[in-house]
Chains A and B, each alone.
Chain A
Amino acid sequence: MRYLPLSEADRGAMLGVIGVDSVDDLFADVPLAARLSGPVEGLPDHASEMAVERHMAKLAGQNLAAGAAPFFLGAGAYRHHVPASVDHLIQRGEFLTAYTPYQPEIAQGTLQVLFEFQTQVARLFGTDVANASLYDGSTACWEAITMAGRITRRGQVLLSAGLHPHYASTAKTMARFTGDTLHHTALSLDATPDDAALIAAIDGETSCVVVQYPDVLGRIPDLAAIAEAAHAKGALLVAVVTEPVALGLIESPGALGADIVVGEGQSIGVGLQFGGPYLGLFGCREKFVRQMPGRLCGETVDAEGKRGFVLTLSTREQHIRREKATSNICTNSGLCALAFSIHMSLLGGSGLAQMASASHARARETAARLAKVPGVSVLNRAYVNEFTVILPQDARTVVRALADRQVLGGVSLGRLYPDAPELGHALLVAASECTTADDIETLGRALEEVLA
């Protein structure tokens, strides 16, 4: 077995030092009735690298990779180009095979990366501070809601109609057990989000208003107006960013008055990976820092006065506070944060702007092409790199028919909102700098065929 270095001679010598006859004797505390009498049933014995690779490659081959087809899916997970150096660097063993940096003297690499990451996220979001990452955007969104509850001591939460339904669903799952009350207005297919209705729903009991920016249909809510209305009632604005690349083009939520900004960092550096691991981003105002969930890295000095970094404010965390912690999170998304940070440092602010502009340009070209398909119309007034089109028939069947033609044409709202038949004809379409003119034309033609 290639991963296990002990030889039989080693084992014999070690058993001698321990003073027992066999490895089984070391399991003496396990009642006999609880021990299996032989190897696990059904599982074959160990296999070579070649055999395992063959098996896994066969399974991988049964999937249509995004890079092998014209690809237009978004809805919370986006395909952007990740520079080759990112994956190379995250595979350095000193990053890949390190643990949480609890011993800072020998974890300055990870810690400095986290400090840089926190700074990047804070500047991207326009917040004072950011944490060292959470699991993903949806869990970060829930953590923001509970944090707002701790700050405002209120339990009424307004979810904007344009919040990703899976984020809303995650929050609903949790709220059922914490007693928070979530108000989620139904989504309707309008060219702009109904900010006025959301603002009208804010009252003196509202803990926070949770607004996705751009929203699930790719529309852009007026965060500044919502922030002002929320603050006037003593509520917080939680902005949710599922596509951080969009912030290369549009204003950061923090700059528009959001108190807490959370997001999914997957589209920068991490890749699609069928939904995970992803990267929860979390930023907020400095005055709320002691209410934040998750790990924080801070600057300090060592015994010789040299600058160094440590995990800090851990009295918020479960390993110190136990049942009084701000969150139960322990493991976060460290390696994904590293990938995000490397990609972001290759981009810089100007590269992010270019990436957003290129994605926006390809999205506009896609929208223009789709608008030429008979019976198809573009819903959005404005969008960055994702928009909604209305089809003349149920979008779910169209998506499947496109996939039969090896075209990954978008996400049907019917899949996201199975209980809302009035949304069934809507299709979310996303583009990025990876999208080519050929991809756009292929999608246009395939859609014409399917709808014909």
Chain B
Amino acid sequence: MNDLNPAGWRPAMGVVGADEAPATFTGNRALQLEEPLLFEIGELGRCGVDFDGEASAPMPELGAFLRAAPVDLPGLSEPEAVRHYTRLSRQNYAIDLGLFPLGSCTMKHNPRLDEKVARMPGFADIHPLQPVQTVQGALKVINELAHWLITLTGMHGVAMTPKAGAHGELCGLLCIRAALEARGDARQVVLVPESAHGTNPATAAFAGYRVETIPATPAGRVDRAALEARLGVGGPEHSDVAAVMITNPNTCGLFESELKAIADAVHAVGAFVYCDGANFNAIVGRVRPGDLGVDAMHINLHKTFSTPHGGGGPGSGPVVLSEALCPFGPLPFSELHADGHLTLVEEETAGERHPQAFGRMSAFHGQMGMFTRALAYILSHGADGLLQVSGDAVLNANYILRSLDDVLDAPFGAAGPCMHEALFSDAGFAEGFSTLDLAKGLIDEGFHPMTVYFPLVVHGAMLIEPTETESKAALDQFIGAMRSLAERGKAGDPALKSAPHFAPRRRLDETLAARKPKLTWAKG
């Protein structure tokens, strides 16, 4: 064991073909560089930041509150920090490295102009509580983006503050609940199709509703008959259904062709239609959800409008609203006046202007850093570009569907084209071989796996969303890899069972992690 390889961290061993390759002293393999934890390389008292100005003793009144010792955290010099994080970054897969076909997650190229714009000091370095006369440009960004989101969806208004898709769902449901309460109607049930994202039932429960599941038809769509039957329980005058949450296009990658009729039925019993807009990228510029009877829909700016996912966020989930729900939207929001200046409607002014607002969902104005990026994205693409975005996204997905449906089971493939994502099942795999094995094999081929085991309505689901920013050459290589893996899965190739072989780590023991959770580092 050497100094750069502390206890608990072992050299790479047992890679396929390793019998010919000698073990290395460091455990590294050329550009495959292992990296210890920050706490194993940093030192208490070391610091990579220099400060100006006189340090002085704290004010005497702080006496009893002062901490006895600095926070027990090691520091790094700048070169150490740059190396630590650069090495760690190289253990990640990313869109910048290759095709990232996670269904429903929309991993498309992140334009770098948008990064540049978001970092302009006039956007990045302004405080949320600055006097409004000093942030007119920021309010214009919010207002301009709001305008285009309303235009693209054909809705009446938009709540910009929700911080991610699930937060947007909550916003939509709270608007619905507030609207129902305003007419003295205390309904308790939200209907959610079984193919829905997990956030839908979780949000409905968080908002205080009882969740009931609506089945899917064999064609992979919401069972309209079952839905209408449930709506009618107790008679149209006394429905206990507050809302129906529908994803469109849905998580099977299919357009809910009957959404308008469903919405009419929902409205007929006084309930509302919430649309999960996670897949809006499939129809942006072509279809306006407002024309389909939707009352509220969140838009994941980090999906359709390509703000970076950042390894798990931040997202941004503005919610477009129908006229019926607009009065109930959250605070704060910006308001444009005839002379072109903007003001903020917040607690101070809401009383007279927006008396039914259900309140604040978070401290400030929403994800400004995502608004600037999304606006730059929309203006860059324009009306013609957005049309091409949805067109190419759907074209790429169908190309994958038809290039694989002879080697993989596509449960809804026979019925016609898909939208922006292609869904396959694990039917036909050899005994003991699963979707997970194929996914891990894809890692060895240099791709990120597709979404696996979701939606729940398909056995061993594999949901592939290539997005419009992939070239035909990239798709062809991916298709080749998938065909090879499908054959290996059907033939029961044992090497597939133990994939990945070439990733920074082999399969990780998730059971151990959950049984004895070790969530922080301790010297051991």
Contacts and interface: CB of A to CB of B under 8 A. Distances in A.
B280 to A, nearest CB: 13
Q: Ordered nearest first, which 4 A-B pairs have the shortest CB separation?
A: A348-B75, A275-B364, A60-B122, A335-B310
Nearest to A358: B51
B100 interface: yes
A268 B390 CA distance: 39
B520 A122 contact: yes
B285 interface: yes
B93 A273 contact: no
B163 A277 contact: yes
Contacts of B105: 99
A28 B43 CA distance: 62
B83 to A, nearest CB: 10
A44 B383 contact: yes
B203 A277 contact: no
A292 B260 CA distance: 39
A11 interface: yes
A35 B174 CA distance: 30
12 contacts: A30-B286, A62-B140, A93-B94, A116-B38, A274-B123, A325-B198, A328-B199, A328-B206, A335-B310, A335-B314, A354-B47, A408-B130
A3 B114 CA distance: 12
Given A31-B257, A52-B376, A300-B509, A116 B521 contact: yes
Nearest to B348: A418
A404 B170 CA distance: 39
A19 B95 contact: no
A73 B399 CA distance: 54
A87 interface: yes
B245 to A, nearest CB: 11
A230 interface: no
A4 B388 CA distance: 8
B115 A277 contact: no
Contact of B402 (A17, A81, A271): A17
Given A100-B309, A122-B520, A310-B510, A347 B49 contact: yes
Interface string B278-305: 0000010111100110000000101000
B311 A334 contact: yes
A97 B130 contact: no
Contacts of A188: none
Contacts of B45: 348-350
In this complex, the member of A103, A139, A354, A403 whose beta carbon has the largest number of chain B beta carbons within 10 angstroms is A103
Contact of A166 (B141, B206, B364): B364
Contacts of B416: 28-29
Nearest to B387: A39
A272 B128 contact: yes
Nearest to A306: B10
A243 interface: no
A349 B44 contact: yes
A307 B257 contact: no
Given A120-B73, A272-B128, A274-B138, A97 B94 contact: yes
A190 interface: no
B17 interface: no
Given A63-B137, A331-B166, A104 B292 contact: no
B417 A177 contact: no
B312 interface: yes
A320 B362 contact: no
B141 A59 contact: yes
B151 A43 contact: yes
Interface in A1-60: 1-6, 10-11, 13-15, 17-20, 23, 25-31, 33-36, 39-47, 49, 51-53, 55-60
B472 A14 contact: yes
B92 A248 contact: no
Interface string B23-53: 0000000000001011100111111110111
B449 A296 contact: no
A72 B422 CA distance: 53
In this complex, the member of B65, B90, B375 whose beta carbon has the largest number of chain A beta carbons within 10 angstroms is B65
B497 to A, nearest CB: 11
Contacts of A23: 391-392, 394-395
A28 B255 CA distance: 9
B229 interface: no
B121 A178 contact: no
Contact of B311 (A83, A88, A338): A338
Given A164-B363, A351-B47, A345 B123 contact: no
A177 B96 contact: no
B368 A276 contact: yes
Nearest to A124: B71
B179 interface: no
Contact of B503 (A62, A91, A106): A106
Contacts of A99: 100, 102, 105, 107, 309, 311-312, 448
Given A274-B126, A418-B347, A43 B513 contact: no
B84 interface: yes
Interface string B75-96: 1101001101110111111111
B370 interface: yes
A315 B513 CA distance: 12
B123 A139 contact: no
Interface in B487-524: 498, 500, 503-510, 512-514, 517-521
Contact of B126 (A63, A166, A418): A63
A302 B507 CA distance: 5
Contacts of B267: none
B1 interface: no
Contacts of B500: 105-106
B504 A273 contact: no
In this complex, the member of B59, B116, B131, B387 whose beta carbon has the largest number of chain A beta carbons within 10 angstroms is B131
A274 B70 CA distance: 31
A328 B169 contact: yes
Contacts of B257: 29-31
A357 B167 CA distance: 37
A274 B387 contact: no
A346 B81 contact: yes
Interface string A99-139: 11101111111101101101110111000111011011111
Given A20-B398, A364-B59, 11 more contacts: A1-B385, A10-B471, A45-B382, A98-B94, A170-B361, A272-B126, A276-B314, A296-B519, A307-B9, A321-B202, A382-B62
B310 A96 contact: yes
B517 A298 contact: yes
Interface string B392-407: 1011101101110000
A139 to B, nearest CB: 5
Contact of A331 (B141, B164, B206): B164
A364 B311 CA distance: 40
A305 B198 contact: no
A118 B507 CA distance: 23
A275 B366 contact: yes
Contacts of B85: 89, 92, 95, 113, 338, 342
Nearest to B102: A99
A247 B71 contact: yes
A275 B520 contact: no
Given A19-B402, A43-B151, A65-B121, A323 B384 contact: no
Nearest to A322: B201
A400 interface: yes
Nearest to A256: B65
B76 A56 contact: no
Contact of B470 (A5, A65, A172, A295): A5
A293 B395 CA distance: 39
A347 B330 contact: no
